[in-house]
Structure 1
Amino acid sequence: MPCCCGPPASAPCGGLHLPRALRVSTSPSSLPAADAVLCVGDIGLDAPAALLARYGLRLQHVDADAPIPGSFWGEPEAGIIGCDVYVRDDTPVHSMLHEAGHLIVLPPDKRAAVHTDATDSVDEEDATCYLQILLAAQLPGVGSARLMADMDSWGYTYRLGSTRAWFEQDAENARSWLLARGLLPG
């Protein structure tokens, strides 16, 4: 999540520069209230757990107010360790899907070494952002349109002005990256 979802646009993360189409102007202290975006508690755990299981991932529920293991930004943002995605009820759905996306785009043999930060490249980060939007379409009560609106509310910022504009007009590199690896949900 560090490249797509957090550091100021001027800050590199993990030695990487932010994705070509993506610039973030949000810091963790300026995130919207949890009720401004759809949270895991709003949709339940069954559908997300089943979706992640299709990719060999496990959804791990964390008790309210407990620290979330593997969370780059801390609570309430999702965390990743190995093949596990950690969430609380107040974790934004977009955060859960983004972190899951990071694990999905990694070859399975690299997943075991992941702890907190999984970004290897700008192209991989772009693909993760694109994939989380596609995954949202597979969750009842979420959908791509809602997820893109939540991404905008949270602070994702794209050169075309919105997540939807990026997804529809400027994300061909991300789509191609996923397609080349057989990772586009069907």
Structure 2
Amino acid sequence: MYLRGFLCRVKMIPVLFRGAKISPYRPPENVESRIQSLASKCLPNINNLEEPYRFPDRQSKVRVLKACMQEFNHTIPSNVLHEIEDLNSLKDYFHQEVEPEDKLAAMAEENAKQSNLPPNLVLQVEPIRFDPNDKSFFPKTAFPGRSTVMSGIEESKKYPSRRVSKDRRLRIDPEDNV
């Protein structure tokens, strides 16, 4: 009963994280053997991997989960993290395929593997931002005299905001009234 509910929630991961960016994950063929080898390395006191093994404490669980996330390059979201209590649920989680919501990213990944695009067509998933210090690609900005301010948390980490000096601005911005 518990395992069935867990598997239903694992299958719902793309729906639960609709706003967040989820990287696609395709499970490899040898998931179980790789998890067993990682568990035997991280948990030296484990004897028989065939019978269900529950994590005795948080430290051992964190060691195994961290090793699995690095091995498979696939993170475990926090709403599923507390439900993984044994190796069987861990195997079930890493067996589940995750499709991204962003169809452009999925198409770019698929075409990168198959390389069936014409040579003059490139799928660009990440946008190129204007950088006034970089003279190699765009010599002029599309918005002269305007500041470009990144307000989102993820975007502000990727792309720095650009503020234009007051004497070069074309219009009065709300920041000028302060």
| Bigger CA radius of gyration | 2
Q: Say which structure is richer in strand.
A: 1
Which range, TM-score by smaller chain? under 0.3
| TM-score computed with the length of structure 2 as normaliser | 0.28
| TM-score computed with the length of structure 1 as normaliser | 0.27
